[in-house]
């Protein structure tokens, strides 16, 4: 299979304090030669990652300590080759904010049966662990596709 060519990836969720920071750090570890960042559609701008997300990331040897929430904008969208989102609603929101980005938006869970990754915000540590596993699985699938 031919590998997909993307040099920069933006991971997007809702608040940019739970799912997308975890996916960003996972993908940075898997794809060290690519530029990978994250943002939110309703970002908690400049907020640190959610404490539960920090805790679950640390358990899996990822550090979110320096993360700060960032709002998705059309100009931000233009800076990346691929935009990975957690839910189909994020695809629609980005398409409204940045119609020209429509063609480069895909679900993070695209290769896992177009699976959406639900928001664990304000849920239990078990919920965060389950979401971490979904994100990790999706990132591994992207690694295989991107490295062909």
Which residue in 65, 63, 86, 72 sits closest to 134, CA to CA? 86
Residue 139 known to be catalytic: no
Is 70 tagged catalytic?
A: no
Catalytic-role residue among 13, 37, 70, 139: 13
Selected catalytic residue, list 68, 81, 112, 119: 119
Distance CA 45, CA 39 (A): 9
- For residue 79, give every residue at least 6 positions away whose Cβ sits within 8 Å of its Cβ, in sequence order, or none: 8, 10
The three-state secondary structure class of 124 is coil
* Catalytic-role residue among 19, 37, 70, 139: 19
Question: Taking a C-beta distance cutoff of 8 angstroms, is the pair 142, 108 a contact?
Answer: yes
Contact yes or no for 140/147 (Cβ under 8 A): no
Q: How far is CA 140 from CA 33, 49, 111, in A?
A: 16, 22, 10
CA quadruple 114, 118, 119, 125: dihedral positive or negative?
negative
Q: Could you list the active site residues?
A: 13, 19, 119
């Amino acid at each position: 299979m031919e590998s997909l060519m993307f040099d920069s990836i933006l991971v997007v969720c809702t608040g940019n304090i739970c799912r997308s920071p975890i996916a960003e750090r996972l993908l940075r570890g898997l794809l060290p030669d690519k530029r990978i960042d994250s943002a939110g559609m309703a970002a908690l701008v400049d907020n640190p990652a959610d404490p539960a997300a920090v805790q679950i990331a640390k358990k899996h040897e990822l550090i979110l300590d320096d993360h700060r929430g960032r709002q998705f904008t059309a100009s931000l969208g233009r800076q990346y080759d691929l935009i990975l989102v957690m839910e189909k609603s994020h695809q629609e929101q980005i398409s409204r904010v940045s119609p020209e980005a429509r063609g480069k938006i895909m679900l993070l869970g695209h290769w896992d049966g177009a699976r959406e990754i639900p928001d664990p915000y304000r849920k239990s540590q078990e919920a965060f662990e389950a979401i971490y596993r979904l994100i990790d699985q999706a990132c591994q699938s992207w690694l295989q596709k991107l490295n062909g």
